[in-house]
Structure 1
Amino acid sequence: MRLPPNETSSNAAARAFLSARAGIALGTNLGDRLANLKRAREQISRLRMVHSPILASSIYETDPVDCEPEAPRFLNAVMEVTCESDAAELLQCLRQIEAAAGRPLRHERNASRTLDLDLLYCGDVNVATADLELPHPRMHLRRFVLEPLGEIRPDLILPNCRQNVAAL
């Protein structure tokens, strides 16, 4: 593959066109949490690059992990969609949805938020850039991701894991 100047293979992989199943984690612990998640699900479903089938987990209430003291509890869910675009474009759309929900573009890591959308995987794409790391490097350690993901994709084997989601 020939890359444009200043292009790395990781950047090219993030932009490679694909039609693949993409996993998205949704979380919120500020404002009307239920409305935040429902609105985000609808907005994701209406993205021009998202197509059926769309799988959506139940909504789970979870304790905050590595957040500021006294942080409110989170509502979390996971969606899996068919995505007909590159991972970088999908991530950009997810960030726009977060911004529309009131999340600042620049924010502290693990701070309370009106909406957090994490791209977990996008087909078998492996990417490591400043903006995007796929598959998500910590998803297998996060119960608030594994439980809802296990509901919709229990047989999914996560990268770098020997067990499926249900076994984790």
Structure 2
Amino acid sequence: MSYHTVYLGLGANLNDPIAQLQQAVNALTQLPGTRAHRCSAFYASKPMGPQDQPDYVNAVMELQCKLAPHELLDATQAIELNLGRVRKAERWGPRTLDIDILLFGDQSINDERLTVPHYGMKVREFVLYPLCELAPELALPDGSSVRSLTTQVPRNGLEQLQ
């Protein structure tokens, strides 16, 4: 089985978000069937949805992966749980860690557990700008380029932290 280039969105706004992301990156580099890990800088961003929560810290990670998409989803959800994620009905609420599969090679997946490309990635500054840092020439499966999308999506207060 060959490797797929995968991009993951990372986000946290509880329990020392920078440390949460650092631990997530470390855990992701340990996943079997993956190699060649790169991570963007960390960025501070305003929360989506309810504004009565702390700002987020976000990043995008690139890895080469032999796992099947749902195996990777299971692995990322296990990392979230190990680092204290509690899944609630509230969408866009505060969380210790969120790991989203943004892109999985050039695959399009849409089932009850997984949507790839990630449904919101083309309009979220906290995904596009870190992704552009890693892969500015990347074309999404629909042909749109990451670099061109960043010209259409305002930064909305997004600040690079490190």
TM-score range (shorter-chain normalised) is 0.7 to 0.9
Of the two, which has the highest radius of gyration?
Answer: 1
Find the residue that maps to 1:140 and give its secondary structure.
coil
Aligned partner (choices 40, 44, 48) of residue 61 of structure 1: 44
**1:72 has 2:64 as partner:** no
2:51 and 2:29 map into 1 onto residues whose CA distance is 34
In structure 2, what residue type is equivalent to 1:26? L
CA distance in structure 2 between the partners assigned to 1:33 and 1:93 by the alignment: 20
Uncovered stretches (5+) of structure 1, i.e. residues with no partner? 1-16
- Work out which of the residue numbers 133, 148, 155 in structure 2 matches 1:167: 148
Runs of 4 or more, structure 1, over 3 Å off, are none
What is the match of residue 8 of structure 1? none
Specify the alignment match of 1:25 in structure 2.
9
Instruction: Name the structure 1 match of 2:29.
Output: 45
Q: Is the 8 A contact 1:98 1:116 kept in 2?
A: yes
Relative to structure 1, the CA distance from residue 135 to residue 18 in structure 2 (aligned partners, 3 Å threshold; closer, same or farther) is farther
Percent of aligned pairs sharing the same letter: 36
Q: CA deviation at 1:135?
A: 1.2
Q: State the Cα distance separating 1:34 from its structure 2 match.
A: 0.9
Residue 29 of structure 1: CA displacement? 0.4
- CA shift at 1:159, angstroms? 2.6
Q: Distance in 2 between matches of 1:81 and 1:130?
A: 24
Post-superposition offset of 1:106: 4.3
Which residues of structure 2 form unaligned runs of 5+? 150-162
Residue aligned with 2:81, SS = helix
What letter corresponds to residue 3 of structure 2 in structure 1?
Answer: S
Question: Equivalent residue of 1:136, what SS?
Answer: coil
Partner of 1:127: 109
- The amino acid across from 1:44 in the alignment is L
Paired position in structure 2 for 1:150: 132
Contact 2:9–2:100 (8 Å) recurs in 1: yes
Tell me the SS of whatever aligns to 2:102.
strand
Change (3 A) 1:69 1:83: same
